[in-house]
Amino acid sequence: MTNSDEIRWHQRLENFGKALAQLEAACRKEEYSDLERAGLVQIFEFTFELAWKTLKDLLFYEGFEVKTPRETIRQAFEVEYLEEAGAETLLDGLKKRNLLSHTYEETTAKEAEELIKNQYTPILRQVYNRLEGKRE
C-alpha cells in the first residue's frame, strides 16, 4: 500500500493511545456519580471505535479489505494481531455497546462500569500494545 496509508494508521494509533490513556484514568476511580459513569461509558465508546478503526487501517495497509467492526476483529484474529480471548472480548464489547449506553438504568450502568473496567479496558490495552509493536 502507499505511504499515506501507513501514515494514516500511525496517526489513528496515536489517537487511540490518547483515548486509551483517558479511559484508563477514568477506570482508576473507585466510585462514580451518575454523570461520571456516563462519561466512562462515553470514553469507552470512542476508545473502542478508535481501536477497531486502527485495526482496520493497519489491515488495509497490509492488503486486507474489511468494512465492519466485526469483520475487522475477525480478520485481526486471523492474522494474529489478536488472541482468541481478546477477539471474543472485543466481539462481546461490540455486541454490548448499545446496552452500555443505557446509563440511566442504574443496574445496567453498574454492569457497564464493571465490564469496561475489568474486561474491555485491559483488552484494549493489549490491542494497543500489540499495534504499537507493529509500528516499530
**Residue 129 belongs to domain with CATH number:** 1.20.120.330
Please report which confidence band the pLDDT of residue 65 belongs to, taking 50, 70 and 90 as the band edges: very high
Residue 9: give the domain boundaries: 3-135
Average of per-residue pLDDT values in the chain = 91
82 C-beta neighbours (distance < 10 Å), count: 23
Q: Which pTM does this prediction carry?
A: 0.91
Residues 16/128, Cβ–Cβ less than 8 Å: yes
Distance between CA atoms of residues 11 and 73, nearest Å: 20
Q: How many domains does the chain have?
A: 1
The per-residue b/e assignment along 43-70, b for 16 or more CB within 10 angstroms, e otherwise, is bbbebbebbbbbbbbbbbbeebebeebe
Residue 110 has pLDDT above 80, yes or no: yes
| pLDDT the model gives residue 109 | 82
Would you give the distance in Å from CA 3 to the centre of its chain? 25
